Amino acid sequence: MGDEPAIRFTDVCVSSQGLRSRLLDPPGNAAEHAILDGVSFEIAPGGVLSILGESGGGKTTLLRCINRMVDAESGNVEVLGRNVRQWDVRELRRSAIFVPQRSFLFGGSVRQELIHALRWNGRGPIKMPFGEVLEAVGLKVDHKQPADELSEGQRHRLCIARALLLFPKILLLDEPSGALDVRTAREVLASIRDWATGHQTTLVCVTHRPEDLDTLGGDALILLGGKVSGRYAARDLLDGKVNADTSTFLGSSSREKA
Amino acid sequence: MIGVAQIQDPGWLGLIASAALMLLLMGTALGFGINMIKEGAIATARATVQLLVVGMILGWIFAREHWWAICLILGAMTCIAGFTAGRKINKVLKRTGPVITLVLAAVTGLTLIYVTQLGVGVRGFDAQYFIPLGGIILGNAMTAAVLATTRFAEDLKEQHDKVEAALALGASPAQATSGLTRKAFTAAVTPVVNAMMIVGIVKLPGVMTGTLLGGVEPLIAAKYQLVVMFMLVFGDGMTALAVLTIIRKRAFTKAWQPRL
């Protein structure tokens, strides 16, 4: 298993139709469109991959395929050398933890917030490195403070810390820098990247800010219209050594911000 | 029978005199410019036909005491209750009628046997106890099933993302929805528990009223009412738990993906 990639997508397709089909009460007359359209890529164990692309372009769906919140309609998703459909769901989800873009709290103090996830996985709070994971996300707060008193940015970091405490092999972050100012985002991402490197954790990070790549390093996957438009070393992408489509996309996204 | 039932038969004349109250109200309302003649007439006719038919059917069953006739009528009542509940839930969740019917049948059946044999001390089947008690359990349990299911399905739709966030941390569907389940259960049993709190203070509850009219001694009527209240809380709570367990299972795929 050592040589297997941490994650391997082979020709993965997901459509809006497919997502609706599992619903008990599917909304009628919605148009069908592809969300992921033949996506293939690999990430080596311990690697870092950032995913960039237009909003609504399938970035989050791609992450949700990895923890099997979404099933691929065709193609294969393998995690740690095994097809996600062959994993025990709980084992898969605590090996590859997805942290959504919005932060969700389940009640109680900062410490209790961290303990919820431990309990769900049948673990107790004894000897758990609460301090270490909070430090890894740069959160300096009293463990007894009610978590809902934290700022949005702090909450988001608490959610990431909650994931780290389960020591996942793979960490899937959806827009982790979204709720943070530029300077804090840089610090937090650097600190998470260091934690991931230190624990041989594979890091997959959806972002809309190319400057995050500077901090995260590793590779970047560009997802346009549900297809992989290109994959680059973070440095090459920042230096503009990219294909025409990617260049257009990067150009438009930087113009949007200007 | 408890004591000797002593109740005045209203007779057909009495019934007509009472129905005249409806006419009196409709006429008075008309004087205020409110026309409720159509609704009043329909309601009067429906109530009269439905109750007289039920009265005749029950009279036939009470006279013969066939166990299968008791089961048949309770079964029919269960199906009507289950599908009525399913129709009410349809807006938030489709196709719940059959499941709720099965739950109602199981809960009502077991509660009824327990209460008649141990609570009231009847031996065997007795239409006089089985049918009225069965009906009141069914009516309440049906409401409990509707409240629990509607609340759970609405909350799950609304908090879909939060539930998914818990699932993503390794929570099972039961763990991820424990808060929703608790709220739905509370919504289902609150009406009957609240009724227990004020019982006898604001108004005399239905069963006590009925037994008093039937000429039963007040203390026995009070005991009856208590047996019925405990029975209803149990029936409502168990129905809610069973329905929630099934709906929760249905609301997620085998791979723990929400379907609402």
Report pLDDT digits (tens) over A202-214. Answer: 999 999 888 899 9
User: Is A24 in Cβ contact with B169 (below 8 Å)?
Assistant: no
Q: Residue ranges of the alpha helices (H) in B123-177?
A: 127-158, 160-168, 173-176
Q: How many domains does chain A have?
A: 1
Across A148-157, average pLDDT: 93
How high is the ipTM of this complex?
0.94
User: Which CATH number is A129's domain given?
Assistant: 3.40.50.300
pLDDT at site B4: 52
Nearest residue, CB atoms, A67 vs list B93, B168, B253: B168
> How far apart, in whole angstroms, are the C-alpha atoms of residue B176 and residue A23?
18
Query: What is the H or E stretch that residue B198 is in?
Result: helix B178-198
pLDDT digits (tens, 9 = 90+) for B234-258: 999 999 999 999 999 999 999 999 9
Distance CA B105, CA B116 (A): 16
Could you tell me if A83 lies within 8 Å of chain B, comparing CB atoms?
no
Q: How far apart are CA B155 and CA B259, in angstroms?
A: 13
Residue that the structure tokens 């680059």 belong to: A232
Which residues from chain A sit within 8 angstroms of residue B152, using beta carbons? none
Structural domain of A199: 45-69+89-257
Q: With left for phi above 0 and alpha for psi between -120 and 50, is residue B153 left, alpha or beta?
A: alpha
Q: Is B154 on the interface with A (CB under 8 A)?
A: no
Residues 6+ away with beta carbon under 8 Å from A102: B161, B165
- Those residues whose C-beta lies under 8 Å from the C-beta of residue B109, and which sit 6 or more positions away, are none
Q: With pLDDT > 90 as the criterion, what percentage of chain A qualifies?
A: 75
Q: Is the pLDDT of residue B119 over 80?
A: yes
Helix crossing, B97-114 with B218-250: angle to 10°? 150
Chain B interface test: which of A120, A121, A123, A173 (most B C-beta within 10 Å): A120
Q: Which residues pair with A42 in a beta bridge?
A: A8
Residue B161 and residue A24: Cβ atoms within 8 Å? no
**Which residue is closest to B177 within chain A, CA to CA?**
A106
For residues B228-244, one letter each, b for 16 or more C-beta atoms within 10 angstroms of the residue's C-beta and e for the rest, the string is bbebbbbbbbbbbbbbb
Closest chain B C-alpha to A220 CA, distance in angstroms: 24
User: What average pLDDT does range A78-90 have in this prediction?
Assistant: 97
Contact list, A21 vs chain B (CB under 8 Å): none
Q: Which residue of B has its CA nearest to A162?
A: B169
Kindly state the DSSP code that residue A96 receives in the 8-state scheme. E
Does residue B246 belong to the interface with chain A, where contact is any CB pair within 8 Å? Answer: no
Q: What is the pLDDT of residue A28?
A: 75
pTM: 0.90
Chain A residue with Cα closest to B255: A89
Name the residue ranges covered by the structural domains of chain B. Answer: 9-64, 66-250
Contact B96, B242 (CB under 8 A): no
Residues 107-166 of A with CB under 8 A from B: 116-117, 120-121, 159, 162-163, 166
Specify if A166 maps to a domain: yes
User: Among candidates A221, A223, A225, A206, which has minimal Cα distance to A34?
Assistant: A225
Q: What is the mean pLDDT of residues B8-31?
A: 94
Q: Does A89 touch chain B (CB under 8 A)?
A: yes
Q: Look at residue B29 in the predicted model and tell me its pLDDT.
A: 95
With bands split at pLDDT 50, 70 and 90, how would you rate the model's confidence at B1?
very low
**Main-chain dihedrals φ then ψ at residue A174, nearest 5 degrees:** -100, 110
Phi, psi dihedrals of residue B105, rounded to the nearest 5°: -60, -45
When the pLDDT of each residue in chain A is averaged and rounded to a whole number, the result is: 92
Pairwise CB contact (< 8 Å): A99 & B168: yes
A241 to chain B, any CB pair closer than 8 A? The answer is: no
